[in-house]
């Protein structure tokens, strides 16, 4: 299948070996371990109410990445070089991805916090990761975050009509994703998600009372035309889709600059080019029990969605999670607890992964028919591959 990384490579048992200088990259909307420090232990910087400087997505397409080298030294939260011995293996401590050992080669890396997750970027062939990477994530978060009252998305949900071409493009893409997944991807689940308890940034989530409710169709709720968006009913949340799209945006720019790179946003991954001596970027997938279920080379998009993370206790003591089934308005219970999907783009992999966890094993077959292979883990821990 063109553009799809096949689910190839041997399945292995428990990951072993000491953590070398490197990364353990986790599943969708989860934490990342960098050089042995769990990001759940890091203090998250609060979002500023003042607008931050950022380049526009349009200017990214024409930018010479070398212009940003010096700015990166001044503004990036952390930049470093990774070097790992050939025999090193990074243990999987969370559900998600583990980049392979670097076989003694050097690669520039950048880790920072954006979109309420850890962003990790590895780039070969440069001394530092180009500075537009962090700027792109900041710009898109400023536009689409539901936790920033000044964002365009918050203003739309407050009743304003939003005139912004990029915003309208992403809303149109959300309608496409909704149709592609037969409605299992639905960006109008936000009221149900809030009632379930996820009404503020995740580290502050407490309580909630999930209840069954009707979730409107985005085709009826959104009015899109001439670069302008209006909301007829409900409330919109584009978080996961935007995260995948931003990974794609950054990866495309790095690829256009002739660079091989791996971009990860909390388990939403896009790989362009290849590590030296490999056919892609070495990645492994592990559920929460630390047992690797797949490893191999990746080129293109790979995303994992899981209900094993972003879980919390509700008011009645039951457990809720962030994946809402739009057919019921309740946290999904499909029998699938984690899904990883390979696709040409990260946003498409993210949409299908979420749809599979919400809709169950039959959705994996639909994804495969559309050209996206998947690997799923069910409630009993059984691993299945499709496509």
Is residue 200 very low, low, confident or very high in pLDDT (cuts 50, 70, 90)? low
Residue pair 54/138 in contact by the 8 Å Cβ criterion: yes
Whether the full predicted model's pTM is greater than 0.85, yes or no, is no
pLDDT at 74 over 60: no
Of 306 and 301, which is predicted with more confidence? 301
How is residue 20 written in tokens?
């070398």
Looking at the domain assignment, is residue 372 inside a domain?
Answer: no
pLDDT at position 199? 58
- 3-class secondary structure per residue, 231-252: ECCCCCCCHHHHHHHHHHHHHH
- Structural domains counted in the chain: 1
Q: Is residue 79 part of a domain?
A: yes
> How far does Cα 107 stand from its chain's mean position?
22
Average pLDDT over every residue of 270-293: 84
Residue at 292 is within a domain: yes
Distances (CA, A) of 85 to 24, 82, 248: 16, 10, 30
Decide: 161 and 327 in contact? Cβ < 8 Å: no
Across the beta sheet with 336-343, the strand order is: 79-82, 107-114, 117-124, 260-265, 268-272, 300-306, 336-343, 373-378, 383-386
Task: Say if residues 93 and 287 touch (Cβ distance below 8 Å).
Answer: no
In a domain, 367, yes or no: no
- SS3 call for 113: strand
Q: Is 96 helix (H, G, I), strand (E, B) or coil?
A: strand
Q: Is residue 257 included in any domain, yes or no? A: yes
Whose CA is closest to 139, among 26, 260, 224, 249? 249
Can you give the pLDDT at residue 85?
29
Within-domain flag for 90: yes
Q: What is d(CA 164, CA 104) in angstroms, rounded to the nearest whole number?
A: 46
> What is the pLDDT confidence band of residue 345, given thresholds at 50, 70 and 90?
very high
Sign of the alpha-carbon torsion through 149, 154, 158, 163 = positive
Residue 306 maps to a domain: no
pLDDT per residue over 88-138, tens digit each?
A: 322 222 233 444 443 334 689 999 999 989 999 999 988 899 999 999 999
To which H or E segment does residue 169 belong?
helix 165-180
Give 195's pLDDT tier (boundaries 50, 70, 90).
Answer: confident
What residue numbers bound the domain in which 273 lies?
A: 23-128+241-299
- How sure is the predictor about 207, in pLDDT bands with cuts at 50, 70 and 90? low
- What is residue 323's predicted lDDT score, i.e. its pLDDT? 83
26 vs 99: CA distance, rounded Å: 10
Specify if 1 maps to a domain. no
């Amino acid at each position: 299948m063109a553009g799809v990384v096949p689910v190839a490579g041997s399945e292995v048992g428990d990951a072993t070996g000491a953590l070398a200088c490197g990364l353990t990259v986790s599943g969708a909307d989860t934490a990342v371990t960098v050089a042995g420090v769990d990001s759940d232990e890091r203090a998250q910087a609060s979002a500023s109410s003042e607008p931050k400087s950022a380049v526009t997505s349009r200017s990214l397409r024409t930018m010479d990445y070398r212009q940003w080298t010096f700015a990166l030294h001044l503004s990036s939260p952390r930049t470093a070089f990774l070097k790992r011995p050939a025999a090193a293996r990074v243990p999987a401590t969370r559900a998600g991805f583990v980049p392979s050992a670097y076989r003694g080669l050097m690669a520039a890396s950048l880790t920072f916090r954006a979109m309420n997750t850890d962003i990790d970027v590895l780039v070969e062939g440069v001394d530092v990761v180009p500075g537009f990477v962090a700027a792109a994530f900041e710009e898109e978060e400023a536009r689409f975050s539901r936790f920033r009252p000044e964002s365009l998305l918050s203003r739309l949900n407050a009743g304003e009509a939003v005139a912004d071409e990029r915003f309208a493009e992403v809303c149109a893409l959300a309608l496409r994703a909704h149709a592609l997944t037969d409605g299992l991807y639905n960006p109008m689940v936000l009221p149900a998600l809030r009632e379930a308890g996820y009404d503020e940034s995740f580290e502050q989530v407490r309580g909630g009372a999930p209840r069954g409710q009707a979730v409107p169709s985005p085709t009826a709720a959104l009015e899109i035309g001439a670069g302008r968006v209006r909301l007829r009913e409900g409330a919109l949340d584009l978080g996961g889709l935007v995260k995948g799209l931003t990974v794609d945006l950054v990866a495309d720019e790095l690829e256009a600059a002739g660079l091989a790179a791996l971009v990860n946003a909390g388990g939403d991954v896009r790989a362009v080019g290849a590590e030296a001596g490999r056919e892609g970027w070495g990645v492994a997938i592990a559920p929460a029990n630390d047992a690797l279920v797949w490893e191999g080379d990746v080129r293109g998009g790979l995303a994992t969605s899981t209900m094993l993370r972003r879980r919390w206790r509700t008011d009645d003591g039951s457990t809720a999670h962030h994946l809402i089934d739009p057919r019921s308005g309740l946290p999904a219970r499909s029998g699938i607890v984690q899904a990883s999907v390979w696709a040409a783009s990260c946003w498409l992999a993210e949409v299908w992964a979420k749809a599979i966890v919400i809709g169950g094993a039959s959705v994996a077959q639909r994804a495969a028919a559309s050209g996206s292979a998947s690997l799923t883990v069910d409630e009993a821990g059984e691993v299945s591959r499709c496509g």
